[in-house]
Structure 1
Amino acid sequence: MKRREQSQTEQLRQALAEREAQLQEAQARLAAVEGSTSLQVGRALTAAAKRPGRSLVKLPRDLYRLWRRSGSTNHAERRRAEPVRSFDAERQEARLLTGLSGGREDLLVVATVVGPAVQTAVDPYLRSVPLRPHDAQIVMDGVDVDLLLVSASAAAPGSPWAHVGDPAAVDRTRALHWVLESAAARGIPTVLLDDAPAPPALRQLGFDRVHKGDAGVPLHLFNPVAAELVSGPEAVFVRTAPDLPVPDVLLDLGVGVVDADSPELPDALRAANVAVIPETGHGDLRLRRRAWACGTRVIPHPAVPVPEAEDLAVTVPRLRADGPTPREVRAMLRQVFLDEAAPVRLAALLDGLVFASGTPGTELPLSGRGVAVLADPASAAEADRLAEDLLGSRLRPAELVVPDTAARMPGVQRLRAEGVTVHTVRSTAPDTPEELTRDVVPADAGGPAPAHWASLAERATSPWAHLWTGPVGRHRLADLVCAAECSGADAVGTPETAVPDGREPSGAGERGFFDRETGSRQYVFVTSITPELARTGLLRRGWRPTEWNRRGTRLLALGPDHGSGTDGDSEGPTHADASTGALG
């Protein structure tokens, strides 16, 4: 078992045992030095020099005895020393002593000098150790980190590192320069996010990599999951500066106003069908992506009017009255999830950096998206459909788990040849009285029994498991994982209360407290679903999906208007056109 998979108590016990072994080795070496002939000769000569009278007379006798004893060493008296502790043990013990042992052990430990927005974006995907100017040296000396992350937004006025890199803030610049030198001496890579205007000297401090842009879109904040639960205007003007005037035409239309750095920005974008974003040059694309993640169309507002462009007095009322379609909302969110989300940006930043020995892995920011596909193809034709479905998916699964009877099917062999890790589970018929009389949870409609899914999930190593019962299209798996990342749900699927026309039955007695009239809603928490994606640990318990909600599981219904869960192959629109607002 790897050290990071052990409990905290086991890690402390192991670190203590290795420290005792190191102490025993030091004591053995000290005893060997004290019993060496060289040390004894030195002591005899020193005593003779201090007292020349009697010591000079005894010196030849003492030297003769040392010479006779030097050839008869008793090896049995030597203490057996334990091996010296490994470098990985030193890293783990250092993190235990500095208070970094709690929480998830599968995240990179990163020292951060970043702005509040960047800190919020990276928190779910990294174990950050914030540095402040007054304690940067102490923290860097006492904590073993894998990466140093600095953002230009940390130099904004009002932050602890305000004006770092400016000649007027020599103390903060000196502290950050010392941190960079310490990181270089210890082999820790350094990255600068150039996400905001900053003093030019900040970029010249000697970073291993300078990235033009921010840390990506934090989907745990910007997402359309709670869109219809947020009350607000149908159109919003995002003010990029406090002194930026609001166009008079927007005030006449009753458009809401929100600041770009306001904590209410996610709720304001979710409550609007359209967002008007000024074209200020810096941060314009960042706001666009956040609006797309919330399912909101974007209308850019140029500082200089563009000839022959549609006026805001026409574009805003048209798009506000015609809200985005469910397919459009999902397509915009999917595009951000695959290309611009925070874990994708962090993985790109780490790619190519040289990390110190013992670093767990640079792919860790994306490890939370790992999906194991659980399938039981009944025939070779169904295995071929499984291969076509998984190889055509926009989100490639990490592994496939099938019964051993399906391992030799051509479709499964094709997936293995394409680089998909395939695990098999031994499946046999019951042949003992205990197995014949054992209580087995019956199968749900449309799939095998929960006990069968649990046996497949036991072999999976990914955090998520997709229950494959038939082709779902090239977008569905990406949409399921995206919905789980946005909402923090434990399982995602289609609601069992849905009927073919896409509407839920009426009547309070037929729905739970959290089940609402969804209409064409894409994301809603419900009390019961037909699961398509679930946490692997949840499936291993073998519970019926109808019991999940009563056991404290959060269930998210995705796209009740898609029926069985299959999506079309159309990419769908991803944003609004810059000039006319037309979708494309």
Structure 2
Amino acid sequence: MKRREQSQTEQLRQALAEREAQLQEARARLSALEDSTSLQVGRALTAAAKKPGRSLVRLPRDLYRLWRRSGTTNHSEQRRRGAEPIRSFDADRQEARLLAGAVGGASELLVVATIVGPAVQRALAPYIRPVPLRPHDSQIVMDGVDVDLVLVSASAAAPGSPWAHVGDPAAADRTRALHWVLESAASRGIPTLLLDDAPTAPGLRSLDFDRIHRGDAGVPLHLFNPVAADLAEGPEAVFVRDTPAAPVPDTLNGLGAGVVDADAPDLADALRAAHVAVIPAHGPSTEALRHRAQACGTRFVAHDPVAEETGAVEGISVAVPRMRATALTADEQRTMLREVFLREATPVRLAEILGGLDFPPGTPGPELPLRGRAVAVLADPAGEAEAADLADALLASRLRPAEVVVPDTAGRLPGLQRLRAEGVTVRTARFSTPDTLEELTRAGERPSRVGGLGPDRWAVLAERATAPWSHLWSGPVGPDRLADLVCAVECSDADAVGTAATGPAAEVGERGFFDRPTGEQYVFVSSLTPELARTALVRRGWNPAEWNRRGTRLLALGPDHGPGTDGNAQGPAHNAADASTGAVG
């Protein structure tokens, strides 16, 4: 039975106490053996046999003394040794898990024992707490770490990896080690998952996994993203091939197109540098390559030699030059990235995969990968009209917030009541005690600050928020605005996103993919008017003008990315939005 309440620290202490008890018992037995009459008689006879001269004369006296002492117990000798009673360790308290190389913070991420390829490892790194298993230490790690999931990917069996050819009869030792891991997980109630993302031996799929997912881990936007990424100069077209042996079309050679493998580490750089990506029309990686190209803001052409010869589809000799001649607009780039963020990104895919697994009671479930997208909307509506606008905007948002935090007196407005009725968590905070007349009537002149509040009052609202991100609401926004803001921080790992305080040209940093003649859409700046920021940062109560000097990373959105109603809202809204996590299902 799995002891989920015991942390690894407690398990190590219990194991140490058991070893000490065994050592103490061994010492006690050794002491009893040394004091036994049989051993003393044997020593006396041995000494007499080695030196028959004097020892034979002393032997009767020694044996007589041993006989006299055989019926007594030397309690003073035992007290002098100070032997302690054998104790057992009882783990009564809860402590944080202690993992190799990662201490603390395990409650915010799923702890996953991983046997995965390097690409999957990099994709999942921000969303799980991995515990890598290797064939030589898998049993030790599984016995010593309390994990929530065992994740295996088919790409881990690639040649050159520690688990190369696992599942193949030629690698029976690795297959046996993996089989033991799965049996250990089953006995402890830990779900097991196989990510079938690459061709591998059939023996791997025949192992006893709880679920086999056909496909990859989604698009890791922190790797395949155009936000604040360096613009690498390269050919305007790139051919992405499934295998290194795939031939490059002669037409692309004449167009000066580059070539990159689908599993190459520099795939993201090659896609970002190109305007057009030519991908296979059929194959196991076609959909994944299409989504990765969209995440990089690159158009793609599906290459089907048979269909092109028959004239069923437009040939690449025509499609590639036509797409290269037409610049991709900012709205198209933003729409492609948004759709990947909402539907194909790694946390969304991971939540979908984990949703079908049976986790033990009390285990953080599949909502944790999307926890990083949870947003708390901090607002101070001045009256019923602003509260109604707030409710309309949030209920129409494609990324529904996890919670809304408002002043205590605003919580009774009809708009906030409507949000509660729709399942949105509404929390209230009190600015002062007792409430002033202006606060009770929601009237009076409001200061000219973000949303009418200063940093100190934003901090009061943020104290009540539980989501990692806070949206400082200052007025109605379009249905895509919140998704764009969260997408920007997921791509760039910025601490705050908003509009540049002194215009789009304010202290622009390194040139990124979207820094093209169409306009600077995503740039790091030294100051901005924040729209989305880390909740911990808002709680500080600092003036946003000082955030950059305090070590925060500020990402500004371009002039056509303003806070008003979005003019490029495209794509259907998701019907199943999880208000508890801010996740779009």
2:492 maps to 1:497: no
State the Cα distance separating 1:556 from its structure 2 match.
0.8
Q: Which residue of 2 aligns with 1:561?
A: 560
Change in 2 beyond 3 A, CA 1:560/1:251:
same
User: Post-superposition shift, 1:230?
Assistant: 2.2
Find the counterpart in structure 2 of residue 237 from structure 1.
239
* Residue type of the alignment partner of 1:469: S
Residues 97 and 296 of structure 1, relative CA distance in 2, 3 Å threshold: closer
Partner of 1:34: none
Partner residue, 1:124: 126
**Aligned-pair CA distance for 1:522:** 2.1
Deviations 1:147-191 (A, max 9, x none): 000111111222221111112211111111111111111111000
Quote how far apart the aligned CAs of 1:370 are.
0.6
Question: What is residue 418 of structure 2 aligned with on the other side?
Answer: 414
- In the alignment, is the contact (CA less than 8 A) between 1:270 and 1:296 conserved in 2? yes
2:189 is paired with a residue whose SS is coil
Provide the C-alpha distance between the structure 1 equivalents of 2:123 and 2:316, rounded to a whole number of angstroms: 32
1:386 and 2:390 equivalent? yes
1:402 match: 406
Q: Report the 3-state secondary structure (helix = DSSP H, G, I; strand = E; otherwise coil) of the residue aligned with 1:359.
A: coil
Tell me if the contact between 1:291 and 1:298 (Cα under 8 Å) persists in the aligned partners: yes
Q: CA deviation at 1:227?
A: 5.2
Q: 1:302 to 1:197 in 2, by over 3 A?
A: same
CA RMSD of aligned residues (A): 3.1
Inter-partner Cα distance in structure 1 for 2:286 and 2:490: 25
Q: 1:19 to 1:228 in 2, by over 3 A?
A: closer
Contact kept in structure 1, 2:114 and 2:132, CA below 8 Å: yes
For structure 2, the residue ranges without an aligned partner over 5 or more in a row are: 22-86, 437-446, 574-585
Alignment CA distance shift 1:256-1:568 (3 Å):
same
Shift of 1:145: 0.9
- Count, aligned residues: 486
Shift of the alpha carbon at 1:497?
A: 2.8
CA contact (8 A) 2:476 2:564 kept: no
Tell whether the 8 Å contact from 1:494 to 1:531 is kept in structure 2 after alignment. Answer: yes
Contact residue 374 and residue 468 of structure 1 kept, 8 A: yes
Match of 2:138 among 125, 136, 139: 136
Match of 1:48 in 2: none
Deviations 1:243-263 (A, max 9, x none): 112111111111122221222
8 Å Cα contact 2:451/2:473 also seen in 1: no
Q: 1:315 to 1:82 in 2, by over 3 A?
A: same
CA distance in 1 between counterparts of 2:197 and 2:552 reads 38
Task: Give deviations 1:400-421, integer Å, cap 9, x for gaps.
Answer: 0001111111100010111111
Counterpart mapping for 1:1-80 below 5 A? none
In 2, distance between residues paired with 1:206 and 1:83? 35
Q: Show the 5 A alignment for 1:153-302.
A: 153-226=155-228, 229-302=231-304
**2:381 maps to which residue?**
377
Identity among equivalent positions (%) equals 67
2:507 to 512, 537, 545: 512
Kept in 2: contact 1:332–1:573 (CA 8 A): no
1:246–1:375 distance in 2 versus 1, CA, 3 Å: same
- 1:471 matched to which residue of 2? 476
Identify if the C-alpha distance between structure 1 residues 99 and 549 changes in structure 2 by more than 3 Å, giving closer, same or farther: closer
CA distance in 2, matches of 1:514, 1:458: 32
In structure 2, give the amino acid aligned to 1:294: C
Q: What letter corresponds to residue 386 of structure 1 in structure 2?
A: L
Letter of the structure 2 residue corresponding to residue 421 of structure 1: T
TM-score w.r.t. the length of structure 2 is: 0.77
Q: Is residue 14–residue 89 contact of structure 2 (8 Å, CA) maintained in 1?
A: no
C-alpha separation in 1, matches of 2:256 and 2:206: 47
Q: Structure 1 residues 562 and 380 mapped into 2: Cα distance closer, same or farther (>3 Å)?
A: same
Measure, in 1, the Cα distance between the counterparts of 2:207 and 2:523. Answer: 48
Q: What is the 5 A alignment of 1:292-371? A: 292-306=294-308, 307-308=310-311, 309-371=313-375
The alpha-carbon deviation at position 229 of structure 1 amounts to 2.6
Counterpart residue type for residue 454 of structure 2: A
Which secondary structure does the structure 2 equivalent of 1:452 belong to? helix
Superposed displacement of residue 521, structure 1 = 2.9
Question: What letter is aligned with 2:428?
Answer: T
Aligned to 1:527: 526
SS at match of 1:493: strand
Shift of the alpha carbon at 1:223?
A: 0.6
Cα distance, 1:226 vs structure 2? 3.6
Task: Give the distance between the partners of 1:429 and 1:301, measured in 2 at CA.
Answer: 68
Alpha-carbon distance in structure 1 between the residues aligned to 2:412 and 2:421: 12
- Structure 2 distance, partners of 1:343, 1:573, is 20
Cα distance between partner residues in 1 of 2:228 and 2:260: 18
Is the contact made by 1:473 and 1:569 (CA closer than 8 Å) also made in structure 2?
no
CA distance, structure 2, for counterparts of residue 214 and residue 317 of structure 1: 31
1:457 aligns with 2:427: no
